[in-house]
Amino acid sequence: MTRVALAFSGGLDTTVCVPLLEEEYGYDEVIGVTVDVGQPESEFEEAEETAEALGLDHYVVDAKAEFADLCLDGVRANATYQGYPLGTALARPVIAEAILEVATEQDCDGVAHGCTGKGNDQLRFEAVWRDSDLEVIAPVRELGLTRDWEKQYAAEKDLPVEGGNEGDWSIDTNLWSRSVEGDELEDPSYVPSPEIYDWTAEPTGESEEIEIAFENGYPVAVDGQEYDPVELIEYLNDLAGSHGVGRTDVMEDRMLGLKVRENYEHPAATTLLNAHESLEGLVLTQEERQFKQQIDQQWAQKAYEGLVDAPLVGALEGFIAKTQGRVTGTVTIRFEGGKARPVARDSEYAAYSADHASFDTETVGKIAQEDATGVAKYHGFQRRLANGVLENDDDETAEGDPVELATDGGTVDAADAGSTEDDQ
């Protein structure tokens, strides 16, 4: 008997996949796997009810802890893509791994998902699954299905999806973010109404300050209260969300080249990323900060692609880990006007001296202010030299007299300087 494990949400796409895997692909049995990465309880209830109505063996895997750990790895890498914190992208490899484990345990011959051929998730799921020997099946993509066709098919088969009506938008929710797309939101000129938001309130004039503690780049406590990663993210989602923090409306470039409009909510992610970057600014040197921006961008790109286990990511994390040993301390965040703004930071590893930076002290340690005069003379020297050459070209064209750069950075007429061709 052949068996296939289906990534199962109980929604329209995955529900119609059940009979299709039997009728079109010849599988004797389909099992559904739902992976918990922080979705609302109502989604699990829907999946369970739909699975029961279909007579489907249904497995639920709790992967919140693994997902939360990956999200906080993302904090250390300041992981954003085109201006928003990565949420769905980080969740998909975690979900795919959990489904593959169930499929292996249940002696399945294949694994399947309900993704279309237009999105990113098909690539993220399959990057994990194609490491196995199991058949990988994507009915919606391979059969070229549309939503309208699926609704009609569900009605004909009397499938338990309420005629395929799942609301106006496509919504994906996990611990780290909530994404909303589809319907009128597909029009970039459409201004969304507040009803698309669920995690974030409309910002008010009220403000609140909290202190977030970090150890080795990981957030560990808020206002002195320690939390495990899942609890920390849930707490800050509620708190920051109540201040309207963490809304993003972007035109996103997908891996297949399509440009799509996405609306996101990510209160905890915004708060923690802002705080972490602020603390890095206190403890890392200028060169470390500049180079780490390149490292972070590469980490985020591979995470967006669902390739967090790539060898490159391991190498990048070696550098990140080296820098994060000093990212230990506290950051005070002020929630105000829909923003999570760092207003204070403190660390024993600060690469900073208030005495040296102060306008009220004459020296910088043993360095006198007048010592900067030589630096100031050299600063911009090549710029002055290059501009002098350009001015020389202009003057030669106009008058035929070359211009020479003086040693103090000014310009003097070449004839007055007594230069000859031999001097040059």
User: Cα(212)–Cα(47) distance, rounded to whole angstroms?
Assistant: 37
**418 three-state secondary structure:** coil
What are the structure tokens assigned to 193, written together?
């109404």
73 given a catalytic annotation? no
178 given a catalytic annotation? no
The span from the first CA to the last CA of the chain, in angstroms, equals 89
The one catalytic residue in 69, 109, 147, 170 is: 170
CB 350 within 8 A of CB 282: yes
Numbered residues of the known binding site: 7-15, 84, 114, 116, 120-121, 124, 170, 179, 252, 264
Numbered residues of the known binding site for L-citrulline: 84, 120, 124, 170, 179, 252, 264
Place of tokens 């503690």: 213
CB 330 within 8 A of CB 348: no
User: Cα(320)–Cα(245) distance, rounded to whole angstroms?
Assistant: 27
User: Cα(198)–Cα(340) distance, rounded to whole angstroms?
Assistant: 18
Buried b (16+ CB within 10 A) or exposed e, 81-115: beebbbbbbbbbbbbbbbbbbbbeeeebbbbbbbb
User: Cα(185)–Cα(275) distance, rounded to whole angstroms?
Assistant: 31
121 given a catalytic annotation? yes
Q: How far apart, in Å, are the Cα atoms of 192 and each of 179, 195, 286?
A: 13, 8, 40
The one catalytic residue in 36, 73, 76, 92 is: 92
**353 three-state secondary structure:** coil
Element (H, E) at 172: strand 170-173
Place of tokens 């829907």: 46
13 given a catalytic annotation? yes
The one catalytic residue in 13, 73, 172, 296 is: 13
User: Cα(261)–Cα(250) distance, rounded to whole angstroms?
Assistant: 6
What are the structure tokens assigned to 148, written together?
């309208």
The one catalytic residue in 121, 178, 296, 347 is: 121
Numbered residues of the known binding site for ATP: 7-15, 114
**188 three-state secondary structure:** coil
Which residues are catalytic, by number? 13, 92, 121, 170
